[in-house]
Amino acid sequence: MTVITDKQTKAEEIKNEANVLFKEKKYPAAVEKYTEAIKENPNVASYYTNRAFCHLKLESYGYAIADSDSALAIDPNFTKANYRRASANMALGKFKEALKDLRIVSKRAPSDKDAKAKFDECAKIVRRIEFEKAIEHNEKKRSVADSLDIDSIAVEASYDGPRINEETKKIDLPFVQALIQRFKDQKKIHKKYAFMIVLAIREYMMEAPSLIEVSVPKDGQLTVCGDVHGQFYDFINIFQTNGFPSESHAYLFNGDFVDRGSFSVEVILTLFSYKWLYPQRLYLARGNHETDNMNKVYGFEGEVKAKFSEMMFNLFSETFNALPLSHVIEHKIFVTHGGLFSRDGVTLDEIKKIDRIGQGQPGSDGLMCELLWSDPQPEMGRSASKRGVGIQFGPDVTKDFLDTNGLDMIIRSHEVKEDGYVIEHAGKCVTVFSAPNYCDTVGNKGALINISPDMKLDYVTFDAVPHPSVKPMQYASQFSGLLGM
């Protein structure tokens, strides 16, 4: 006969409170409640998988893996823990690890068609990655840019969209304005012009260092934006309400232009067009989602293939590899997508010399990875990342980096915030996130930072605007369900 203790009863009550918070999408509060339940009774596997699901929603994939491990330590046959761990590894682009758990889930539930479909999709990705590696090993991979013959691509007479002058091979402001309107109308531009735009930016970025010095226009301002994640209509709303890029109004977009939102092609082609038009007034930094593994999972690869072709995606991939990793504004403000490093003493010169193009994809450690993936924490020192990649860094780490390099503050992005931005580390570390109502579900505001020539920072918040009825991650195949979308 099983005796139910007071602690077990209390733990169940707390777990039920956590479940209510989860249904209300109050994920941080739910995490706290599940943690309380675990303290009362640490021997229930489902408490850990419930908390893991919250961590998935909060993109804390490292924590979700740890909770899944704890659940399986209690009950090795608890299939839900394998599913949660597969979800977290998939979110991190660790497809082989995810496949191990999906194989277990499939075997234990052979009649579950959804589990089988996800297993098959993951297996297909793993096979493709292995095939691509084998090809690279056996022969030098030829650049897509080098294999493209743009002049041979014909533009049909029936095409009624904006055109690039094929003699000058230059764009002008009317072209960009027409491009934006065409995208608003949910129409594509011709593939020839899309290739020309991406090629122009690739060529420009290939010559740039990994860290770019930025100045504020003397007669205007510089606007720093965080993640926009393919939310084209919210992205364009930034320009409509805050001013379009121009010679007197510079913009710096701090990574994660694509994925999740299903208008990522429209966002990136608009940004690249403005970069081509105003190379010294539109700045782009690579985010952790400008990488192949993320694009396979979160929709950008599928979207590009649906709207254009696999060759177009491969060209985007090459171009993302060439994007700079960081910017410094007026020798005072360091701007990067994720954050700081696992060691002290990193200099701007070191960052500038990172061979990002040679490295290509960022890997799971090193300076490039940490710039794209790290997050601040309120505690001093460093700790393992909640995401499972990069690190978490405290106020002392921020201070050391700023002191080492003679800087005043850091602006980074990478994390959704309820009010669109958060100021931490005694005002020295600011997070700005520019995708309001993230994934159509979070309800957060977006934010941007306007910086004047005298280096005053003005924080502006904004709400989401209506968009066509296309759901987030529309092109993410089987994985949107796996990731709890």
Contact 217, 252 (CB under 8 A): no
Contact 226, 432 (CB under 8 A): yes
Contact 392, 382 (CB under 8 A): yes
Contact 392, 380 (CB under 8 A): no
The answer on pLDDT for 363 being more than 90 is no
Contact 398, 425 (CB under 8 A): yes
Mode of pairing for the β-strands spanning 382-384 and 282-284: unpaired
Per-residue pLDDT of 129-158, as tens digits, reads 887 777 665 555 678 888 899 999 999 999
The answer on pLDDT for 485 being more than 50 is no
Domains present along the chain, CATH in parentheses: 6-136 (1.25.40.10), 152-482 (3.60.21.10)
DSSP assignment of 263-304: THHHHHHHHHHHHHH-TTTEEE---TTSSHHHHHHHSHHHHH
Contact 301, 295 (CB under 8 A): yes
The answer on pLDDT for 93 being more than 90 is no
- Model pLDDT, residue 342: 97
pLDDT over 70, % of the chain:
96
- Model pLDDT, residue 2: 56
> Count of CB atoms within 10 A of residue 466's CB?
8
- Model pLDDT, residue 330: 98
19-36 as b/e: b if 16+ CB within 10 A: eebbeeeebebbbebbeb
End-to-end CA distance of the chain: 41
Per-residue pLDDT of 328-349, as tens digits, reads 999 999 999 999 999 999 999 9
Average pLDDT over residues 308-333: 97
The answer on pLDDT for 479 being more than 60 is no
Q: Which residues contact 164 (CB under 8 A, 6 or more apart)?
A: 170, 171, 175, 193, 196, 197
The answer on pLDDT for 92 being more than 60 is yes
Q: Look at residues 236, 225, 284, 291 and name the one whose alpha carbon lies nearest to residue 460.
A: 225
- Model pLDDT, residue 387: 93
Mode of pairing for the β-strands spanning 446-451 and 457-462: antiparallel
Contact 320, 284 (CB under 8 A): no
Average pLDDT over residues 60-75: 96
Nearest 10 degrees: Cα torsion 235, 239, 241, 243: 160
Reduced to 3 states, what is the DSSP secondary structure of residue 431? strand
pTM (two decimals): 0.91
Average pLDDT over residues 352-367: 93
Average pLDDT over residues 81-103: 92
* Active-site residue set: 289
Contact 444, 420 (CB under 8 A): yes
Of the given ranges (111-120, 205-214, 309-318, 404-413), which has the lowest mean pLDDT?
111-120
- Model pLDDT, residue 128: 81
pLDDT band at 118 (very low <50, low <70, confident <90, very high): confident
Contact 389, 368 (CB under 8 A): no
- Model pLDDT, residue 481: 56
Per-residue pLDDT of 220-257, as tens digits, reads 999 999 999 999 999 999 999 999 999 999 999 999 99
Q: Look at residues 95, 64, 63 and name the one whose alpha carbon lies nearest to residue 392.
A: 63
**Which tokens belong to 441?**
């579900």
- Model pLDDT, residue 367: 97
**Which tokens belong to 474?**
């529309």
Q: Give the sign of the dihedral formed by CA 335, CA 340, CA 344, CA 349.
A: negative
Q: Please report where in the chains the tokens 């060529």 appear, as a residue.
A: 203
Question: What is the C-alpha to C-alpha distance for residues 156 and 154, in angstroms, rounded to an integer?
Answer: 6
The radius of gyration of the chain from alpha carbons, rounded to an integer in Å, stands at 23
Question: What is the C-alpha to C-alpha distance for residues 286 and 389, in angstroms, rounded to an integer?
Answer: 16
The answer on pLDDT for 3 being more than 60 is no
> Count of CB atoms within 10 A of residue 138's CB?
8
Phi, psi of 190 (to 5 degrees): -65, 145
The conformation of residue 418, written as its DSSP 8-state character, comes to T
Average pLDDT over residues 75-103: 93
Of the given ranges (28-32, 72-76, 120-124, 276-280), which has the lowest mean pLDDT?
120-124
Per-residue pLDDT of 280-299, as tens digits, reads 999 999 999 999 999 998 99
The answer on pLDDT for 47 being more than 50 is yes
The answer on pLDDT for 426 being more than 80 is yes
Q: Look at residues 122, 96, 89, 97 and name the one whose alpha carbon lies nearest to residue 387.
A: 89
Q: Residue 40: CA atoms inside 13 Å, Cβ hemisphere, count?
A: 19
pLDDT band at 1 (very low <50, low <70, confident <90, very high): very low
Q: Look at residues 166, 299, 180 and name the one whose alpha carbon lies nearest to residue 238.
A: 180
Mode of pairing for the β-strands spanning 421-424 and 429-432: antiparallel
pLDDT band at 25 (very low <50, low <70, confident <90, very high): confident
- Please state, rounded to an integer, the average pLDDT across all residues of the chain: 93
pLDDT band at 482 (very low <50, low <70, confident <90, very high): low
